Amino acid sequence: KAGVTQTPRYLIKTRGQQVTLSCSPISGHRSVSWYQQTPGQGLQFLFEYFSETQRNKGNFPGRFSGRQFSNSRSEMNVSTLELGDSALYLCASSLELDYYEQYFGPGTRLTVT
């Protein structure tokens, strides 16, 4: 079975731009979660999607949004980029919501200049 894939792997944007990141979960997995990792804050939960619905959201501003499609693929969008948005963005998929092992993708490294 193919693992979780994320595209693109690397991205450079300038302040004020917007960006869309994509995540394809493991086949059959219905839950996708997104995380941000920075040297200062470590790993932080962004949001979780299940059956095309956002089930949980972390403490991030409204500039961060996402969606999930009927095939469970997910995208996250960050609008009006700030320097502090530079981070590794990871997605993880699991079979169902809660109490299921999460499988992480390789991440998208976003640099905002």
Partner 1 sequence: KNEVEQSPQNLTAQEGEFITINCSYSVGISALHWLQQHPGGGIVSLFMLSSGKKKHGRLIATINIQEKHSSLHITASHPRDSAVYICAVSGDSGGSNYKLTFGKGTLLTVNP
Which CB sits closer to partner 1, 69 or 100? 100
CB of 92 to partner 1, least distance (A): 8
E strands of the chain, at which residues?
5-7, 10-13, 19-24, 31-38, 42-50, 53-57, 64-68, 74-78, 87-94, 103-104, 108-112
Specify the residue, 44 or 79, whose C-beta has the smaller distance to partner 1.
Answer: 44
Among 111, 102, 96, CA closest to 38: 111
Residues 60-89 that bind partner 1 (CB under 8 A): 88
Q: Does 25 bind partner 1 (CB under 8 A)?
A: no
Q: Does 56 bind partner 1 (CB under 8 A)?
A: yes
Which residue, 78 or 93, has its beta carbon nearer to partner 1? Answer: 93
Cβ 81 vs Cβ 69: under 8 Å: no
Shortest gap between Cβ of 69 and partner 1 (angstroms)? 20
